[in-house]
Amino acid sequence: MFSKKSLLTISMLLALSLILFACGGGTSDGGGDDGEEGGGADEQFIQILTGGTEGTYYPLGGTFAQVINDNVESVEEASATSTGASVENMNSISDGDGEIAFTQTDIASYAAEGDVMFDEANEDFGAIGTLYPETIQIVTTQDSGIETVEDLEGKTVSVGAPGSGTYANADNILEIHGLSIDDDIEARDLDFGDSTTGIQDGTIDAAFITSGTPTGAVESLAASVDVNIVSVSEEKAQELMDEYSYYAEDEVPEGTYGLEEAVPTVAVQAMLVAHSDLSEDLVYEITKAIFDNTDAISHAKGSEIDAESALDGVGVDLHPGAQKYFDEEGISEE
């Protein structure tokens, strides 16, 4: 017979063994955090912050996500998220609400410096590389009678949300032409889809749209009305570039939106940035996946994305992982 003391000891030992097993002291053949079935501890989910569904960032971000999923083993899943685009994306990166983001080069510079629409300098990101020109398109209809930027005076014009990249571009271009958002136009703060819908139904006269061409929202407009893109003259483009170094001359090509000839304008660059907390190795693999597999980018802009030009106009520090990739490729900023 066991004494009461012995029974108490055995009970205590059994209880202790159960506690140790529950805390992981036991062994198991099942997949855990480090097992193949449970996914490696280093595997990450990557959220790519893009823009509105009617623009270029969102569909292009979807193709980038697929390229990353197909080529970067340490990424559990990459996905594209629709957002308010450049300014919102830079704020979200600063807040830790995304891993990779699309942005305009001018907006990234403002964010890094804590200038214009940013109250504080953002040190939480590094560039992956530039992608393609973000063309500033001043969209109206051929029946509007608007032929020049000066013709916008007194008109109802969509300039994008206050603090957005499009708003900053509209402000810069109007200023160069002697006009003001506050004093000389009836400004509307609309996204691309609402802007082109407003032009179509006559509630606005024109819209500033900063996006890679062709832009889906403008293509949809061109399917129902004859579109006119207001030009920015070479002289005014030079004034703008002298004042703001991140602008470059550009054009909307002949045939785009049914245009009979190319329209001169200006552009900034679209680029990708990564949160600084992402490891050098991971960003290296992501950068390599994108720029080594541009033939797999199922979007019209894929033909413009090239490692050789990816450092043109970056204007902010590269993420160390991206720097490693471009160093290996022998590519440097001019």
pLDDT, one tens digit per residue, over 170-228 is 999 999 999 999 999 999 999 889 999 999 999 999 999 998 888 889 999 999 999 99
What is the per-residue pLDDT across 213-250, written as a single tens digit (0 to 9) for each? 888 899 999 999 999 999 999 999 999 988 887 888 99
| 153 exposure class (CB count in 10 Å sphere: 0-12, 13-18, 19+) | middle
Question: Count of alpha carbons within 13 Å of 161, Cβ hemisphere only?
Answer: 15
For residue 42, what pLDDT is reported?
61
Q: Return d(Cα 268, Cα 199) in angstroms, integer.
A: 24
What is the per-residue pLDDT across 144-165, written as a single tens digit (0 to 9) for each? 999 999 999 999 999 987 777 8
Q: Return d(Cα 282, Cα 321) in angstroms, integer.
A: 7
**3-class SS of residue 233:** coil
Q: Could you tell me the fold of the domain covering 44-131+270-329?
A: D-Maltodextrin-Binding Protein; domain 2 (3.40.190)
Residue 196: name the closest of 41, 323, 42, 52 by CA: 52
Question: Count of alpha carbons within 13 Å of 25, Cβ hemisphere only?
Answer: 8
For residue 1, what pLDDT is reported?
46
Question: Which residue is it, tokens 């403008």?
Answer: 218
Q: Please name the helix (run of DSSP H) or strand (run of DSSP E) that holds residue 199, with its range, or none.
A: helix 192-201
Cβ atoms of 310 and 129 within 8 Å: the answer is: yes
For residue 32, what pLDDT is reported?
33
Q: Please name the helix (run of DSSP H) or strand (run of DSSP E) that holds residue 249, with its range, or none.
A: strand 248-252
Burial 103-128 (b: 16+ CB within 10 A, else e): bbbbbbbbbbeeebbbeeebebbbbb
For residue 272, what pLDDT is reported?
98
User: What's the Cα-to-Cα distance from 119 to each of 36, 76, 229, rounded to whole Å?
Assistant: 45, 35, 34
Asked if the domains at 44-131+270-329 and 134-268 fall in one CATH topology, the answer is yes
Q: Return d(Cα 144, Cα 268) in angstroms, integer.
A: 27
Structure tokens at 123: 């040190």
Structure tokens at 238: 């030079």
Whole-prediction pTM: 0.74
Q: Where are the domains of the chain?
A: 44-131+270-329, 134-268
What confidence tier does 43 reach under pLDDT thresholds 50, 70, 90? Answer: confident
Cβ atoms of 89 and 101 within 8 Å: the answer is: yes
Residue 246: name the closest of 300, 159, 165, 185 by CA: 165
CATH of domain 134-268: 3.40.190.10
Residue 232: name the closest of 146, 153, 148, 142 by CA: 148
Query: Position 135: which residue type?
Result: T
Cβ atoms of 280 and 270 within 8 Å: the answer is: no
- With a CB cutoff of 8 Å and minimum separation 6, the contacts of 284 are 321, 322, 324, 325
Contacts 24+ apart (CB under 8 A), 18-25: none
Cβ atoms of 311 and 129 within 8 Å: the answer is: yes
